[in-house]
Each structure stands twice: as structure tokens, then as C-alpha cells.
Chains A and B, each alone.
Chain A
């Protein structure tokens, strides 16, 4: 099983601030997916195949990375971005999620 470690666990950003969430894998993976989850709601696909935005995701979001290090970046934080973000990978017939990053607005 490939363990995914997200950092930070929680963070608060001011409106307009740039935000970066990191997801590190214990072993190299080919791609990373990201999901956004708001309280009381089901997760939503957010970024897939490392850098592609899911339908309806604002272009202030971006994804990058390779090997064991991946990141989700918000170029300019907005109130509506408050949520928990999870990374996810699938390899060797085993799928894992990161532990999540809770992002709040200052």
C-alpha cells in the first residue's frame, strides 16, 4: 500500500493569498487526483491526472508534480475555497487517499 502524506493538515489563508497543498507518496506514483469536500457534502472531483481541472473548477486552481511529490495550488484564495482537500492515487491494485488538508479563510 502506498501511503500518501498531505501537508499541512490544516491551514488558514487570507482572501487573495496563494495557497499550496502538498501530497507526498511513500513510493513513486504515475499521477495524482484531488477531491474537494465541504461539510455535510460528498467529495467532488477537483483535479485529475495530476494537473487537469474537473468540470466547473475555477482556473485559479492548478495541480502539478511527479514521482513522489504532488501539489494543489490556489493562485488567489477565495471564501468559497474553504473545504477539505484529499489527494488520491491508484497503483498496484491498491488505492489510497491522503489524510486531507482542511483549508479555512482568515
Chain B
């Protein structure tokens, strides 16, 4: 069974940093591209970042470019999102999602909440 379990969220002050993790199981992690997608409270889905299976290709949404860094450790089956210079607008539920062979997100984690507030 495919499982994606996010962790590392919490309450953080504006301007500070936070690192999210997503532990994958039930599939060969190193074969799949992975993504972070977020959802602000009561709002829609916003793609944040994408990383290819071997980390060769990395893309970011303009809203986080230069502040967030996506990475992965295939030996640990773990996806990361390093978030710096956090702003209140970054407050959201952050989902880890697997990009399937047909390029859509076929599995999602349960999400981890990040709240940026003083």
C-alpha cells in the first residue's frame, strides 16, 4: 500500500525557517517524481515545487522561488521542503504528492499544517 506521511509542520514566526519531510512507503520511491502542494485555510490547491526521480529536474512556483528548496533522499525514501523567509501567506496545509506515470498526482499524503504568525 502506497503511503506518504508528512511531518515537520507547526507554528513559526515570520521570517523564520521550517523543514518539512515526507516519508514514502509501499512503492519504489526512486522511480517517481514528487511534489509539494499546499492549501491555505478555506482556499484552493496551489502547487509549490516538483523534483524528478533522480533530482535532475527541479521546479518551483514563482511565489516560493528563492525561499523554498525541495530535495529528496532516495536511500531514506524521504522528500523534503526547506522553507525560509516564511511569510503569513505561506500559512497552509502542505501535501506531499507522487507524480504518477501519466503525470498526474496519483497519491497524496494527509498533509501537514504550517502556520506563520507572530
Which residues from chain A sit less than 8 Å from chain B, CB to CB?
Answer: 1, 31, 33, 35, 37, 42-45, 48-49, 52, 54, 86, 88, 90, 93-100
Contact = CB atoms under 8 A, between A and B. Distances in A.
B45 A45 contact: no
A55 B61 CA distance: 29
27 contacts: A33-B103, A33-B104, A35-B105, A37-B45, A42-B95, A42-B108, A42-B109, A43-B45, A43-B105, A45-B100, A45-B104, A48-B102, A48-B103, A48-B104, A49-B102, A52-B102, A54-B106, A86-B45, A88-B45, A88-B47, A88-B104, A95-B50, A95-B61, A97-B37, A97-B46, A97-B47, A99-B44
B65 to A, nearest CB: 11
Contacts of B95: 42-43
A100 B44 contact: yes
Interface of B: 35, 37, 44-47, 50, 59, 61-62, 95, 100, 102-106, 108-111
Contacts of A93: 59
| Chain B CB within 10 Å, residue with most, of A42, A43, A54, A90 | A42
A86 B104 CA distance: 12
A42 B61 CA distance: 21
Contacts of B105: 33, 35, 43, 45, 88
A42 B111 contact: yes
A82 B104 CA distance: 22
A88 B45 CA distance: 10
Contact of A1 (B62, B109, B110, B111): B62
Contacts of A35: 45, 105
B50 A42 contact: no
